[in-house]
Structure 1
Amino acid sequence: MRFSFQDYISIKIHKTDLLLTSLIKTRLEPFNLAPEQNLIMMLLWEKDGLSQHQLIEPLEKDKTNIARMASNLEKKGFIKRVHCKDDRRSVRLYLTPAGRNLGEQVIPVTEEFNQLVSKGLTEDELRELERILAKINDNVRPEF
């Protein structure tokens, strides 16, 4: 049996991802913050001083991507990268005053965005969605 275009779950997920990314990009643009950079900032607003290595797992990015995004955030003046004295290969990221101030502006935007995305969904539906997405991620995650 051959699927039609509308039958592919991957296409449906991709369309949703494009809509979500486009909307959050528009909402973050006034703050000079890209959606992926915002993910790093959100983690730092929760816990300042994380190492670049500690960002790899929650963001599912390789160390090169993390380093590039951190460099761009540093150039914008939102974070400061500090090499650890004990291990020069390890780099910790710290919010600057501008980065902390940015959080006061951006966190409400991301919370409003999350409310919009989950509008009309029950707690049970959100848990089910998380379960289904985790299953899909496991299906397509490369095995190393």
Structure 2
Amino acid sequence: MDYSLEQSVGFMLGLTHRKAVALLATKFKPYDITTEQFSVLFNIGKGEGVNQKEVALRVFKDQPTTARIIDLLEKKGWVERQTSEQDRRAYLLYLTTEGRTMLDNLVPIEREMNKELAEGIPEDQMEAFKHTLSLINHNL
């Protein structure tokens, strides 16, 4: 058999993803937040007044998992739920002042890690790589 799993795009993406998540998790540990929690917090901050369903779609998680993460963020005092004016059964999500401060601390860490990941790679190659990843995502 002339096939190497290490050359499989899916395998390479998975391995790279796991390594990147582990590194970011280490950097976030002092802030008592996981990468998944960060993703949800970031997406709430990006579109405040968003509902849980929309957050779940943005972070590619199912609704029960997203709800658990939101519950945890709410317990930590970083997110608050407010009843929707249009639909009294629905809740809209907002960052608290503490949640905004947390994002202000974490986003630069995430940005810096992205710089580290791209270290030594010419900018045109990174742009081509991002474009290729977008095409792969589109194919999926």
Task: Specify the TM-score bucket, using the shorter chain as the normaliser.
Answer: 0.7 to 0.9
- Cα contact 1:24–1:113 (8 A) shared by 2: yes
Structure 1 residue aligned with 2:49: 49
**What count of residue pairs does the alignment treat as equivalent?**
140
CA RMSD of aligned residues (A): 2.0
- Amino acid in structure 1 at the alignment position of 2:135: K
Distance 1:122 1:92, change over 3 A: farther
Q: Report what 1:10 is aligned to.
A: 10
Choose 5-14 or 109-118, whichever is displaced more. 5-14
Task: Provide structure 1 residue ranges, at least 5 long, that are not aligned to the other structure.
Answer: none
> Contact conserved, 2:24 with 2:113, CA < 8 A, in 1?
yes
Query: What code does the residue aligned with 1:83 have?
Result: T
* In 2, Cα distance between equivalents of 1:48 and 1:122: 36
User: Secondary structure of 1:86's match?
Assistant: coil
- Aligned with 1:10: secondary structure? helix
Measure how far apart 1:95 and its partner are.
Answer: 1.0
- Map of 1:59 onto structure 2: 59
TM-score (structure 1 length as normaliser) = 0.83
Tell me which residue corresponds to 2:76: 76
CA distance in structure 2 between the partners assigned to 1:49 and 1:121 by the alignment:
38
Match for residue 38 of structure 2?
38
Identity of aligned residues (%): 28
Instruction: Provide the C-alpha distance between the structure 2 equivalents of 1:113 and 1:88, rounded to a whole number of angstroms.
Output: 41
Deviates more, 1:4-13 or 1:32-41: 4-13
Q: Distance in 1 between matches of 2:59 and 2:43?
A: 9
Deviations 1:31-50 (Å, cap 9, x if unpaired)? Answer: 11110110122223333322
Following TM superposition, by how much is the alpha carbon of 1:30 offset from its aligned partner in structure 2, in angstroms? 0.9
> Secondary structure of the residue that 1:92 maps to in structure 2?
strand
Structure 2, unaligned stretches of length 5 or more? none
